[in-house]
Structure 1
C-alpha cells in the first residue's frame, strides 16, 4: 500500500505488487563479468578470461569465495569505514511533503534525489521541503525545493526516481553523494548499508547485516532493516559507493518476519539521464555533469559517437552496453617520472585517474616497470583488470602501453624496431642519436575483441627529444621523418596495409613550424590536435603552457565526435588539486575510434588547383625521401625483397578476379580492363610526389642503382634525389617571381619559364606519353605507370616525338642522329636505344587507363602495331615486375600488360583513340 493521507505519516511502498515492472535477470555472460570484476577487488585475483568465458563453474566457485570472505570478515572493516559513513550520512535528509515523510539525499550542490512516489510532480515539490541534520544533538536545517530550476522524474512503475533542485543556504558545507556511472559496484552476496529516516524518525543507519540476494538489470534486492519512511534512501556498498535508490519492500513469509527490499540501480538511473540528454533534455545534461566515474564498458566518452538511432538510446547500458560496441577508446599520457621509486600515494592517485579514463588502450610515457606493476595491482581494487607491454629504454623514461584485459589483446611488435633499426639508430651531423637513450617508438598491435569481428590497429607511442636548442630541434625533425617513413613503409606491408595506425605521445614540439611537418603533411595521416593548437589549448601545464602532446591517425580511421571534436585533452588540473605537483605536468589526450558502419575510406590525392606554384609544392622533405631510399636499398640485400613473385601472384589473382581474358571479344576485354585499372586507381599522386617515389623505390634496380630508360646509363638514386630538390628550390623562387610579375605574363609564358628552369637540371623524368599530348593534366601527369627516369639529354632529344622503328637504325652503329646513346630521332619520330619493351607496355597501359584523353592532333602518333611488336620482342623483365608491384602499392592499380603479357593480342587498343 501507499501511505499518502497524512503529512506526518511515512511514505512507503509495501507489498510485492510494488516490485519494479519490466525487470530482467542478467544474461549469464553479463553476470559472469560482474562477478569477475567484483572478485578482482574483493579477492584481489587476476582472472583468466578464457576460463571465465567457457566455464560457468569458475563463476560459481568465485562467488562462493566472495561470500565466505565477506561473511568471515564482516566484523573486520577498515577503521575509516565509520568516518566515511558519517560523511555520507550528512548528505541524507528527511523529505516532508503534503502527503507525508520520506528520505532523500544530496547528489550535488543544490540538488536532491528521492523516489517519484515521495515527490510525484513539480506541484508537490513546491509544497515540500528537505530537513538536513535531523539527528541527535544537531540543529535541523530546512531548505525549500526549487523545481523551477531542475525537476526530472520517472514514475513509480518505471524507475521511480525524482531529482529536484533545492536551496543551498545552510548546507553549503555538506559533501554531496554523487551518482556513479559504473554498473559493477555490487554483486550477489555482498552487504549494503542504508542511511534513512525510518518512519520519519531521526536519521538511522542499517549496517552490514544486509545481504544482496539478487542483481537484476535495473534493480538489486537485499535483506535489510527498513521501515516506512525509508523510501528514497541511499544504498551503499562497503566502500560507501552509491549503488541504489531504495524503492520498496515486502515480506516473503506468512509470519511477516523475513523481508526483502528493492533498490533501483544507480547505473540504470544514470542510463535514463543519458537517454534524456541525448533527446535534448537540458536538465538531464546538467545533472550528468555531476556524475562521477566511468562505465567499464563505455569508458570516458560513454555513448558519444555511438548513438545513431532510437534503438541505440534504449541500449545505452543496462547494465552493460548491448548495442554494437565496435569502438576503441585510446589515450596517451606522459605521467612524468612514474619510475620505480614512486611513492604509494602517487600510485593510488594515478590509478584513480586511469580508472576514470577507462581506456581500452593507454600509451604511457616516462614510466618504469616496477611502478607499472604496482599500478596494475592498485587498479584491481577498482575492479579493473589491466596489464601492460613495455619498451625498456636506457634510464628511467621508458614507454609502455597499458590495456584493458577485458576488452583488448595487445602484442608488442619489437620486430618492427628490428626491421627499421638502420634508420632508428640514425645520428645527426653532430653525432647525436636521433632517439636519445634508445628511446625508440614503441610499436604495439592492438585487437579490440568483438563478437562478430575483432578490431585491429597499430599503436605507436613516442617520446621525442626535449629542449629548444637547434640540435634538439634537429633531432626531433629527423625523428619525425623516420617515423613518417616507417609508417609509409608499413602501409605497404600486407600485415598492416589494411589496419589503422594511431600515433601519439610526447612530441616535445608544437605544431607551428616544420619540425613535425613530415607527419602533419603526410597524405596518409591526419593530426587530431591541429584544431586544438589553433584554439590555443594546451597539454603541457608545467612552467610553460603549450600543446606538445599529439595524436596522429591514419586516414582510414572513422573517429567518434566528442563534443564536436575528434580528440579530447583531459584537463585534470582543473579538477584535481595540486595536479602538477602531485601527478604530472602533462594531461592525457584521448580519442574514440568508431568502427560502426565504417568501411575502408579510400584516399584521394587529387590536385584541385591549377596554380603552378601549388603543383611544385614540396610534399616530402629531402631527409624523408633519402630515408625512404635507405630503407628500400637495405631491403635489396635480400633478393626476394626486390620482387617476391609468390606473394605477387596472390595479389595478381585477386586483382583480376573478375576479368575473363579468354572472352574472345577484343572490345569487351578492352572495356573491362579499362574499367578495372581506372576504378582501382584510388590514389592520385602529384607529379612531385611521383618523382620522389620513382627515385627512392619504383625505378631501383637490383643493385640499388637507377638505369635511364633510353640510354641505359646507371645513376646513383641519391644523386637524383638531391638534384631534384635543388631544382624545386629554383622553381619555388621562380614561382615567387612569377607571382610578382603575374599581370605581365600569360599562362604560356609561365609554363615556358618553368620548362626552361627544368631543362637546366642534370636529371629528369620521362613521360612516355608526353605531357603535351594530354595538356599536362592530372592524374596523367603523376601516373607512375608511364613515368621513367631519364637524363636531361635523352628527354630533350625525344621531346614529344612518336615512337618509331627506323629500318636502318642499329644501336650498335654510329648514327649521325643519335645523341648520348639515347636512340635515333628525325622527322618527329624517335627510336630508343633501350627500354623498348618497357615503354611499349607503359603506353598500352595509358591507352587502357585514359581512353579519349590524348588530344586528337596527337592520336596519329600512337602506332599500336609497333607497340605490340616491341611488347612481344622484348619480354617483361624482373625490373618491370618490381615496378608494377611497387606502383600497385602506391596507386592501387596495375599494368595488365606486365602481369599477363599474352592478353595484349586480345585487346582492341584502338578504342582509346576514337
Structure 2
C-alpha cells in the first residue's frame, strides 16, 4: 500500500499505542529473553494454548505443523516452555505448508473509477467467498467495485513469473468495513476473467477462540510488499504484546504489507496486519532510520520502524458476529464463521490438480477426495510430482501421475558456443524432424539473408493490380480477401521446425545463426534453441504416455490434455496474439506472421495480456521483458514488429480478437499503429516476410507498404 496521509495517521496511532504499552511490554520482554515466556502470560491463556496444541497433535489431518514427537509432552508442565524454547526446530512439512497457505493470499490492485491503478495492498480468503483486507486499502464499496484481487502473482521455483489470475470484487454481494478495526470484508467473483474457478485457491479460517499464540512465539506473514511479487516472512516476527484489539510483533525485516495475514506456526490466522510501528522520540515525533526527526513531506522510506501492529482475529470475529445483515449476506457471514476449510495440503492438492487439467473437466475442490494415499508426493504450490514406480490408482476426478525418470524441462539456452549442444539426445521418433530442421539451418548459412531485388519482384507479383480502396473499411476487406486466399500452405504449430531454422534468424555480418528474443533482445543460438525445443517435444511424448486422468462419470481413463503439457513444458516461442484468444486452433496457431522466438520467462511475464503503452510515471512491474500490470503489457523491445504482426492478424482473421472484454479496443489499435510508425520496418522483418511468403504463401502488407496503415480500418478486425 502506498503511503498516504490516512496511512501515516494509522502509523502514528500505532506508535502511540506502542509507547503507552511500554510499562507492560518491557517486563514481559525480559521474561521472554530469559526463556521464561510463560511467566508473562496468565494461567488461563497458557492452558488455552496448550489445549489448542494438544488438539492439533491429536488430529494430524486437520492440523498444520505440529511435530508429532512433541505431542505426548504437550500437557506436561515443561511442555509449553519446550515449544517456545526450541523455536528453531520445526518439521520439514512446515515449508510445504507455508507454500500451501500462501495460495490463499492475493494482491489487491486498487483502481480508480477510471480503471487506473492507484495503489496495492494484500488480502486473503477467509471463506469460500469472502476476502479480508484493511479498511485503509478498500475503504468503500465503490473502491472495492473498481478493484480486483490477483492470485498467483509470484515466481515459480525457476524464478519465472506465474500467470496472474485476477478476480473481480463484488461488494454488491457482501461488503463490511470498520475504520476503527481497520478491516474490510468483501465478496469475490466465482470465476476470473479467464474462467478460472475461485475455489481452486482455498481459504484460512478466522478462529475467535483463545490460544492461537502466546507472548514469545514466532509469527509468519504472507504478503505483497509494496505491491511486489508474493513473499513469505517465516518465523522472524516475535509476538511481544497482546492487548485490547491489537497485537504487536517485532522483526528485523521491513514492516509487513497492509492486509496481510499473520499466522502462528500451525498456520492459524492470529492477526490482520495493518501498520508498522514507527520509531518516536520523547516528544512523540516520528524518527528516521538515522535517529533524526522525520517530518511531513519527507520520503516515507526514511522512517525507522520498531515493530509491527495487527488487528487481533478474536476482535474481528466478535465484530463480524455482532453485525445485523440481510439474509443473503448473513449466509455468507455464517460460512466464514462456521465452515471448516480443507487442510492446507488438501486445498493445495486440489488446486494443483485443477491447474493441471486446465479446466478441461468439471473437477473442482468439492469433487476431490479428502485423502490421496501415501504413494504421491506433492510439491506445493507450484508443481505436482510423484514417486517413480507403479501407477497410483486415482480416485474419481483426480489425475494419476507417474513420471518415468527424466531430465528437468530444458530452458532456453543463452548464446554460447553453439556446438556441441547440451540438449538431451532426441528419441528415434523425433530424430528425422530434428535432422530436417538442422539441415535447413545449415542451408541458411549458404543463402542470401535478404535479397531485396528478388523480394521486390515477388511483392509486385503478389499484390498484382490490387488498388487499395479509398474507403478504409473496404480496404480492410480487400486485404483480408487477399491474405486468406493466398494462405495456401498452413504449417501446424512447430517453431523448432518452421520458425527457428530460417524465418526468425537475425542477420549478423559474421554469419552466426543467432536468434534474438522479441521482448528482451537477448541473443540465443539457433541450433541450441532448435535442439532444446525438440527435447521438449520428446518430454511431452513421455509425459503423455505416463500421465492419465480419469473420465468424469466413466470408467475409462483419458490421456492428459495438451494444455497441461504445454503449461508444464512450454516452447520458447511467443504468439503475438495469445493462443487462448482463438482457442489454440489452426491455422492461427501455426501462422508464422505472429510467431516470434521468446524465452519462457518473458512469455510467462506477458501471459495473455494485451499490449499497452505506459506513461513513464505509472507504477508498473518491470523486467527485461517489458512493463506489466493487469490487462496491460508493454514490450521491452520489438514494439514495431509485434504491432505489425498484430495488425496483420486483424486483417487475416477478423472477429477473433476482442470477442471477450480484456483483449483489444479501438484505442489500443491506435497504439499499435503509433508503434508501427515510430519503429520502422527493419531488414530482419523484410527477411521474415519473404521467408514466410515462401512457407505459407501470404505476406504482411504493413511490412510491404508501411504507409497503408493510415488507409485501413483495423477495427473491422475486432469481434464482439
Give TM-score, length-normalised by structure 1: 0.30
Give TM-score, length-normalised by structure 2: 0.38
